[in-house]
Structure 1
């Protein structure tokens, strides 16, 4: 993989809410108690101050068991940076249990391949599966099949649309509303108003819709921000496609002040469109920084906030799946308010290390050697 490629899935990712007095009435920041699970039961969201806090919130040794066990990992894209790092974190956590073997698959963005991968993992005798859905709807029947066969399935980041305890065992995800509230708090403090656009991933991606819906909630009481397009702009999380899309948006709307998305690693293309148009760079709020973007920021220094740690949610999913496979209850929170790992202005500048792969996410708690090994 090219060290400075800019394509990536997400799955994921994050940002803010609260007006200054000069801007008028502000939207109330949602509380953990206001967030409901798909079953309609109030679900508390746990706030983590750092990405490492996500990793250390649980103790996998309680769930290891004594017999050899295979755990399946189904990833939606890859091997690309986000999936590679999520898998590296899962393997690092699983290594704390000497009896665990991790089997991994990548779906390359194809829902049918994701279904085939799950069936393959089941045929290989896994006792539990963690998965980030590609589309959700397509994978739901195979998740249900696994659960009925006694194989726990815990999804993470993107939601499947299924019911916990029936279609899937559990779901571990960011609290989209609370994370996006953080983006708007930062925008209110450092930008204040302007035109805004949301850049999404592949057409119909559930993760894009989840983030975008949270953004729209915050915009309901913020007339000073103008959403110039009513829906996310499909870019396949690809830097080149993002540049093309952004150039067309700038030609249509003129300079857009704020860009939001769930894949900041791909925003080099976004920024290149502004630079080629001779326009001041936008403020960016979203998810998933990268080393390459951090190095590019050092040369250009646009306003930027980014949520980190979505990869670490796979570790929480692993603990929950292993606990379920061993008939043990895991009390760890399933909905997590992830931290902002970039706030500039705000005191947290993005990181740049020329010795590391450009695709790597500096917010992920891996050592240099672990990161290099994951990308080799």
Structure 2
């Protein structure tokens, strides 16, 4: 919706006050409009009127006979001591200046002065529109960069958690006198450092990346090429990683992965990110002594990958918003840390792979997430 900024309103008001004070206009008004063309009367949006109680009915001058003639040139329309001038900048009509008086006709030098005021207002309109376009463009660009950085930071957390967990397991299996112990200690120290840095970056400052770099960023969501993907190896690798974490947290982790799984239409990096996100959530929200099951079912033309847990569950009211960015629902003020990005990222990636993701959950009993992708028939 076209609008005028406070700065443009102030300029317009000062100019029409000048008309009234220096040229004796009874009332004046400035309007902006969009796409004046085809001889149709424009949709006028009021910017400033002075005096507010003395506005004259200038829009009546716009008739099917007079408007095309007036809009063809810069001289404006003088009718019954009312002067209507188009605000033209680079051959585009951006608005209209309307003024009038009752006691005498407009002299030629007065019309020239009004034309100069109209030229000033036309430039002000053009600059105002350009500034609004730039602000809108920058806001959109900033949001794209923010979403990109949030996604990148979130996706760094999963492999970092895996590295730290494996290092902890190694540390407990290597005796203190082993010379390799210092390397494991170094890994633990540096992963903790990275985790601290990621925590500080949860509210990142703007990252001024060119648009081309944002589009070409090396994220699955940004560069998606759909090809046949081997599901079995991805699930086996994730199960191995998840089993180690579950063991540390006293959670039973089970896998039901058929040996003969058809390939699916997708992207290997994206699919791995989706399943890791869902498994990581299950590990995060499943208490000690609980269990998690990662499995897959083969349908006629699809493969369904599911993650079932006995975690805290999701309230029914939260389910419709579960895949929105930054939504955490009941967990917003809970003890379990999170950003509300994992499920949004997973849902976006699944949609780009032309699949779907669904959830069934009950508070206190757990949740089941199911990712369905198109299978590739083998010949």
State if a TM-score over 0.5 links the two structures: no
More helix by share: 2
More strand by share: 2
- Select the structure of larger CA radius of gyration: 2
Structure with larger RCO (C-alpha < 8 A, sep 6+): 1
